[in-house]
Amino acid sequence: MKVAICDPIDKKAIEELKALNVEIYDFSDLPKEELPEKLEDKEIIIVRSATKVKGELLDALKNAKLIIRGGVGLDNIDLEGAKAKGIKVVNTPEASSISVAELAIGFMFALSRHIVRGTVGLREGKWEKKQLKGTELFGKTLGIIGMGRIGREVAKRAKCLGMNVIATRHVRQIPEELAKTVSYDELYKEADFISIHIPLTEETRHMISKEAFEKMKDGVVIINCSRGGVVDEKVLLEALKNGKVKGAALDVFEVEPPVDNELLKLDNVIGTPHIGASTKEAQARIGVAIVEKIKGFLEGNI
C-alpha cells in the first residue's frame, strides 16, 4: 500500500506508519503544484489544511482509495468528487478539540484585558494604563454557535470561569450541564461573547451576515476559530468600525494568508495565522489518529 504524506505530520506517527509495512512517500515539503504527478499511483493520501484535494489534484488520483484529513474541517476536499471516484474520506476531529478550545478561551482573555495592545504599547514606549481598562469574563454570557467536540470543550472551560453559556443546536443535542439551548435570535440578543465552531459548507458560508450582526447585542465580542468564510468579513469590518462589535479575535480568514486585510488594521481586532490545532499535544494526537485510521483501513474496518 502506497501512502503519500502531503502536509507535515508528527514524526512519531511516520515511524509508526513504517511499522505497518506500507510504502511511505513524504511530499510535505514539495510545492503544491508538483503534487498531482506524484500522487497518480498512491493509494492513501494524507493531508492537513494546506493541500486542497480538488480540481487537478483530485483528477490526478488514479489509484487512491482513502484520503485522511488530519484535523477537523473538510472544506479543502471535494467530497462529492472523491465519492464519485470511489475514494473514502475520513478526518480526525477528536484530536485537536482541546487545543482549538483553549485558543478560543485565550482570545476572550486577550480581548477583555487588552493583552495584545498592552504588549505592543509597552514595546513602543507607551504606558496606557488608564486607556486599557478591561472587563471580566465572570458573569458574562457566552454564546456558542456549533456545539460539536470543540464547542463542548469551550463550554466546559467557560463554565469553570463563571460564564453563562448558551448555544444553538446545529447538529447534536446539547447537554444541559454544558449550555442552555437557544435559538439563533436568542443567542444574538443575549450573548456578550460569540464563539463560532461550525464547518464551512454552502449552508454556513457567510452565516454570520449583516442580518445576524443587526440582531446582536451592542458591544458584542466575536471569536472565530472555525473557518473564515462563515463570517462575512466586509460586514464584520463595518460592525467593528461603528461599534456594534466591540472586538474580534480571528484565527481564520476568508483568504489565507490574508493579504492587506482591513480587519487587521483595526485596534480592536487580534488574530493568529490559523493555529488552532497547532500545539505539540494536538499534533501528536492527530498523528496517532492518522495511524489508527490507516490501521482500520488495512484491516477492512473503514
Per-residue pLDDT of 182-208, as tens digits, reads 999 999 999 999 999 999 998 999 999
Find the catalytic residue in 114, 117, 227, 285.
227
Q: Residue 206 in contact with residue 231, Cβ under 8 Å?
A: yes
Which pLDDT value is given to residue 264? 97
Sheet holding 141-145, edge to edge: 180-181, 164-168, 141-145, 193-196, 220-224, 245-250, 269-271
CA gap 111, 108 in Å, rounded: 5
* Locus of grid cell 451576515: 209
Strands (E), the chain: 2-5, 23-26, 44-47, 66-69, 88-91, 141-145, 164-168, 180-181, 193-196, 220-224, 245-250, 269-271
Question: Active-site residue 274, yes or no?
Answer: yes
Identify the residue whose cell numbers are 461573547: 193
Which residue bears the cell 487512491? 64
Within 13 Å, how many C-alpha atoms sit on residue 18's CB side?
A: 7
Show the low-confidence residues of the chain (pLDDT under 50): none
Q: Which three cell numbers stand for residue 87?
A: 475514494
Residue 170 CB: number of other CB atoms within 10 A? Answer: 18
In this structure, what DSSP letter does residue 175 have?
P
User: 198 with 224: CB under 8 angstroms?
Assistant: no
Whether residue 67 contacts residue 86, with contact meaning beta carbons closer than 8 Å, is answered with: no
pLDDT of 72 reads 85
Write down the number of H helices and E strands in the chain.
Answer: 11, 12
Q: Return the SS3 of 190.
A: helix
- Catalytic one of 48, 114, 149, 274: 274
Helix axes 97-112, 115-123, angle to 10 degrees: 60
Complete domains list, the chain, with CATH: 2-95+280-298 (3.40.50.720), 97-271 (3.40.50.720)
Query: Cα dihedral sign for 278, 164, 218, 120?
Result: negative
Check residue 21 and give its pLDDT. 86
pLDDT of residue 170: 63
Please report the pLDDT score of residue 26 as a whole number: 95
User: Is 128 known to be catalytic?
Assistant: no
Q: Which distant-in-sequence residues (6+ apart) come within 8 Å of 90 by Cβ?
A: 66, 67, 68, 69, 293, 302
Residue 78: CB atoms within 10 A of its CB come to: 21
Which is catalytic among the residues 16, 256, 262, 292? Answer: 256
Look up 256 and say whether it is catalytic: yes
Continuous segment of H or E residues that includes residue 111: helix 97-112
Q: How many residues does the chain have?
A: 302
